[in-house]
A = this chain, B = another copy of it.
């Protein structure tokens, strides 16, 4: 059985969970807080980061969410998520990088630090200037998602792909942390509502990170 080392608000682990669920791959969740990682966890991943996936019986360990997603794409035919022509696949991977790196660095990461790590680890209150900047940056990314949704059926083209999963994973964490304001972003909001109603998304929406509560609309499929 696959074991996914993660914590509830890790957006990269959420992307992997969406992929595994869409592909019908079973797995167990193993809790790991990277800010407090055990020696055993550092042995599994020299980067000390979540997610890591392990299959103890098969002696497989893979770290890094993109390496994990490419692995399951190569080994499980069902629900292809990095599909199409070489150019189409490049577009999917470009967008995954944009959401994993830029959206994370500008929005998800700062919100996780201010609203989660500061509370759990540093016992400090969030810096409202940084929160404001992150929420401003979120609008810029939602504008770009609006544009993608207005131009194409799914973010990277004609079919749902890892780009959609990557964006939805980040947005779900941002929304949990109160950082999403949909006003002016009807297109992105419509795309995300479709996503929220998928069976693969349900377990994420019902999960809670201890101490931190999401806003009331967070788990509602129509909000």
Contacts and interface: CB of A to CB of B under 8 A. Distances in A.
Contact of A90 (B47, B62, B89, B97): B62
Contacts of A66: 66, 93, 97
Interface stretch (A68-76, A121-129, A167-175): A68-76
| Interface size class, chain A | 20 to 34
Interface string A48-74: 000000000000101110111011001
Interface of A: prevailing SS: helix
Contacts of A144: 46
Nearest to A97: B64
Nearest to A144: B46
Contacts of A208: none
Contacts of A62: 87, 90-91, 94
Interface of A: 46-47, 60, 62-64, 66-68, 70-71, 74-75, 86-87, 89-91, 93-94, 97-98, 101-102, 144
In the complex, the 5 A-B pairs of residues with the closest C-beta atoms, listed nearest first = A67-B93, A64-B97, A71-B90, A67-B94, A74-B86
